[in-house]
Structure 1
């Protein structure tokens, strides 16, 4: 029996290659019917129509009110598909909106209530569409921190944010990447100030608002009005939030969990790097399993493990060597790796 921490992905992971993912992998028709009922009641396109589309559309599939629902369903379906005869899940965490999925995987939400939360949050953020996000790396090609780069970037973010009529903040600490969020002026200033890297960074994220910053306070307020405490319960598994705090089974106050989820989780930096480090140090799992959709989160997990020095990992080569001998991070969006855990 191998132990595993499950790490649920966030926005930006359901793209053109993922069309048909739910049809191919979602294991529970009754549960999917519950999700579809909620979509129908909200006059939203069905997951079946989105997932079964002949072509991927950034305008349609990338919208927060569609993307959040697709990603939640795909990730939860993969969690349900894990082979529990060979894998013991010891904790769950997630990146950004993956926190909502993590709560459902951990049992703090029912599947339907977790879908309601993810779908509602995606809709509220899409409707408000306050600010935007971009991604910028601070480690080298070998995933080793470049001296002074992180501190310089954080100083730059703070300096831009201090300018009149500019708003900018660290949105997600994502392994060797920074997700930066702000208003139009703040993002433009950052984009101008940093040197281009790898011919694609800084990279703007389409259909992404300024998640995990104070700009989202109105969205958090609307979420609290729409999502009652009754949706939240005790987790059955430890679940690690975007501060690295562990919510333990039998010791998690429902109102406190709601306050974080619809408060600081929305308006403050999401420290995914710390969440992964805490998962590694507190639970020392044999595996880190990343449900689908997509495979992009695996690199950020690997970078976070290198930054934490897990199993002596110091760089990208170390990680690739370990993966070739005894895989540590398995992405269920990859058929070869999926087969090892289902």
Structure 2
């Protein structure tokens, strides 16, 4: 049996290439219809309608109240297709919104309750739309960690955040990149203070609020009011959260899991790089499986493993060499890779 850590992607992973993903890969049509029923009861477009649209719409498909449900369903569908006869899943983690998906995959929430959590929080964040996010790299193209550059950027963030009209903080640590959250003054000040890289960065993320920052306090409060801790159970599989803490089967207090999910996880930095490092060191998997949708999270996983000095990998070349000889990372959003871990044929 191949031991694997499963990693759930977050917002920003359902884009034009992913249109039709649920139609192509979701294995349980009754479950998908139940999600559509939940959305229709809230006056929201069914997932099958969004996924089956003739054209991808940035303004429609990337809205929090639409994107969250699409991504959750794609993640869950991929997880259900993993060949458990050959793959032993030893732990589950996720990036940002992917934590909600991870809860369902690990059995801490039922699939339908997981969808209720995702749909509710996506709608609340879209309704409030407080602040924004941008992405900025802190390593070069070779993915080799640059501690001095990280320190310089972190000091700059702190100085900007000290200004009376600015809010700026690290939203997500992706290992080789930082996602920053803040108000518009804070984000604009950062953009003006740093050099542009590759004509792309700093990159503002469309339809993203200031996730994982204290600005989301009102959203967290509404989430706790709308979603009871009765939805949560002790997980069936170990969960690694956005601090690198592990929630163990049989040893998890569900009230604490609820409090973290709708408290710290919403309002504090999500340290994805640490979650990956802990998952690698504590569970020693043979393989990391990134569920769909999308293919963008694989680079962040690789950069996080490099930053953690996992199995001696020092940079991008080491990772690519390892992938060619003995792959340690499978992205299910890539048709040529998903067949390695599923029973699907001709995907």
Instruction: Sort the TM-score into its range (normalised by shorter chain).
Output: over 0.9
Whether 2:165 is the aligned partner of 1:151: answer: no
Question: Residue 181 of structure 1 corresponds to which residue in structure 2?
Answer: 181
- How many residues are paired up? 342
Aligned partners of 1:34, 1:254: CA distance in 2, in Å?
25
Secondary structure (helix, strand or coil) at the match of 2:88 reads strand
Secondary structure (helix, strand or coil) at the match of 2:244 reads coil
Question: Residue 33 of structure 1 corresponds to which residue in structure 2?
Answer: 33
Secondary structure (helix, strand or coil) at the match of 2:92 reads strand
Aligned partners of 1:175, 1:31: CA distance in 2, in Å?
35
Question: Residue 20 of structure 1 corresponds to which residue in structure 2?
Answer: 20
Question: Residue 292 of structure 1 corresponds to which residue in structure 2?
Answer: 292
1:29 Cα deviation from its structure 2 partner: 1.2
Secondary structure (helix, strand or coil) at the match of 1:93 reads strand
Aligned partners of 1:323, 1:210: CA distance in 2, in Å?
34
Secondary structure (helix, strand or coil) at the match of 1:181 reads strand
Deviations 1:48-68 (A, max 9, x none): 110011111111000000000
**RMSD over aligned Cα, in angstroms?**
0.5
Aligned partners of 1:46, 1:33: CA distance in 2, in Å?
9
1:146 Cα deviation from its structure 2 partner: 2.6
1:145 Cα deviation from its structure 2 partner: 1.9
TM-score using structure 1 length: 0.99
Aligned partners of 1:163, 1:178: CA distance in 2, in Å?
21
1:111 Cα deviation from its structure 2 partner: 0.1
Question: Residue 255 of structure 2 corresponds to which residue in structure 1?
Answer: 255
Secondary structure (helix, strand or coil) at the match of 2:91 reads strand
Question: Residue 64 of structure 2 corresponds to which residue in structure 1?
Answer: 64
Give runs of aligned pairs for residues 62-101 of structure 1, distance below 5 A.
Answer: 62-101=62-101
- Which 5+ residue runs of structure 1 have no aligned equivalent? none
1:198 Cα deviation from its structure 2 partner: 1.2
Aligned partners of 2:326, 2:93: CA distance in 1, in Å?
22
Aligned partners of 1:326, 1:41: CA distance in 2, in Å?
47
Aligned partners of 2:147, 2:11: CA distance in 1, in Å?
30
Aligned partners of 1:320, 1:305: CA distance in 2, in Å?
13
Question: Residue 162 of structure 1 corresponds to which residue in structure 2?
Answer: 162
TM-score using structure 2 length: 0.98
Question: Residue 122 of structure 1 corresponds to which residue in structure 2?
Answer: 122
Whether 2:211 is the aligned partner of 1:211: answer: yes
Aligned partners of 2:166, 2:208: CA distance in 1, in Å?
18
1:226 Cα deviation from its structure 2 partner: 0.3
Moved over 3 A (4+): none
Aligned partners of 2:208, 2:147: CA distance in 1, in Å?
30
Question: Residue 310 of structure 1 corresponds to which residue in structure 2?
Answer: 310
1:26 Cα deviation from its structure 2 partner: 0.3
Question: Residue 234 of structure 2 corresponds to which residue in structure 1?
Answer: 234
Question: Residue 190 of structure 2 corresponds to which residue in structure 1?
Answer: 190
Secondary structure (helix, strand or coil) at the match of 1:80 reads helix
Aligned partners of 2:229, 2:285: CA distance in 1, in Å?
32
Deviations 1:169-214 (A, max 9, x none): 0000012000001001000000000100011000000000000000
Whether 2:95 is the aligned partner of 1:131: answer: no
Aligned partners of 1:69, 1:326: CA distance in 2, in Å?
34
Aligned partners of 1:153, 1:58: CA distance in 2, in Å?
30
Question: Residue 201 of structure 2 corresponds to which residue in structure 1?
Answer: 201
Secondary structure (helix, strand or coil) at the match of 1:288 reads strand
- Which 5+ residue runs of structure 2 have no aligned equivalent? 343-347
Aligned partners of 2:231, 2:78: CA distance in 1, in Å?
22
1:147 Cα deviation from its structure 2 partner: 4.5
Question: Residue 345 of structure 2 corresponds to which residue in structure 1?
Answer: none
